[in-house]
Amino acid sequence: MIRISAAIMHHPRRAHRIPPLLRACAPLEPEVVPDPEPDGRPSPLRTAKRAWAAIGSGATHHLVLQDDVRLVPGFAGQLYEAVSRRPSYGVSSFCLWHTPHNSYLVRRAAVAGAAYAPLSPFEWTPTQAFVLPVEHARALADYLAGIPDEVQDDDEMVVIFCRERGIPVVATVPHLMDHGHAESLVEGHHDGLRATVFTPDRRWPVDHPSADLEMAPGPYTVALQDSVCTIRLMYGDPVEHECGWYWYDACALAGVDPEEVLDAGATHLSRVPGRALSTMTEVWAACYLLGLDVASSAPSAPSADDWGPLAPAAVESWIDQGLSRQDHRALRDDCVRLALAAVRHGMGERKFADAF
């Protein structure tokens, strides 16, 4: 039987968030673990060490939450089910929408209709709401205790720990929480962060024939950032580097001729005004490659008329995150329509060619 204990990493500056967060966790009863040096240099790691050690008696699994999260209604019940189906895994309830590897892996799973997205063994693990079996939670607490607080970021240490121990890590699709959108306490961290796929009106798991599908990370991911599509290597390139490989030059990684991508979008892009053509071409390329990846990677890939029910939400969040501010203001809705058509087209269903 699964029994989940919980702890909340807490900074006194966010004291007002604790009462509603505790209510949202019910019937879980998290221990609130305060930052032991709230006036010191910001360090999530400093508090994470103590939160991972705060394991309740009789627990089989331990959850650590950050205090700036927004949970879905019925969070505890959905988390229990997610952990019950993957009891030996690390289970994250969240993934930031702009991460180079994991956000793409989540969108890929959403298009395929899968309830979990296996995460990258090299990119920082999303630790905003993360569960581990207690034997791994205790070992993680011991592991983190030996790392200086100055290292600062717990998520970068957690991915190393899980990789070295061979612990598979997945994210729920959709996510069971969103970032609280408060100002980050850590210098250099982005504000206004969002979840990759957050649909609080859809209870996890969303019913779909492919819900139990697990798509292992492939050799590449696709990024859309500042209205430019790039391809990033899953293995070999440092995940922290800013730039990927421009999609046209790197299409061989996806097993596709870049001219095929352009030819597939020719009818759609011929209708685009010249001033918007560059941006719309980048959107088409990113989303066509996503659809192609799902079709070629899923053991029983859905057809374009049976894609995952969360696919539109995953694609919309990609457009909202990936366009430049100027393009988002001018082209957002047109880009969403084009993006949905491109994903379907990449999945191989030509009957949707006139969707845009």
Identity at 16, one-letter amino acid code: H
Helices 311-322 and 325-346 cross at an angle (nearest 10°) of 150
Domain locations in the chain? 4-179, 220-352
- Phi, psi for residue 330 in degrees, rounded to 5: -90, -30
pLDDT given at position 150: 87
To 5 degrees, how large is the angle CA 110–CA 328–CA 318?
15
Closest to 343 (Cα-Cα) out of 274, 271, 294? 294
Selection from 203, 204, 183, 208 nearest residue 193 by Cα: 183
Whole-number Å distance between alpha carbons of 298 and 280: 27
Rg (CA), the chain: 20
CA distance 30 to 65: 9
Quote the pLDDT of residue 303: 62
Alpha-carbon distance 68 to 66, whole Å?
A: 6
User: In sequence order, what E strands does 248-310 have?
Assistant: none
- Is domain 4-179 classified as CATH 2.130.10.10? no
User: CA distances (Å), 267 to each of 36, 123, 319, 352, in order?
Assistant: 60, 37, 21, 12
Residue ranges in the chain whose pLDDT is less than 70: 180-193, 299-305, 349-356
Residue pointed to by tokens 């909340």: 8
Backbone dihedral angles phi then psi of residue 86, each to the nearest 5 degrees: -140, 65
Task: Supply the pLDDT for residue 305.
Answer: 64
Side by side, the strands of the sheet bearing 220-225 are 220-225, 228-233, 245-246
Find the largest Cα–Cα distance for the chain. Answer: 64
Bridge pairing between strands 31-34 and 4-10? parallel
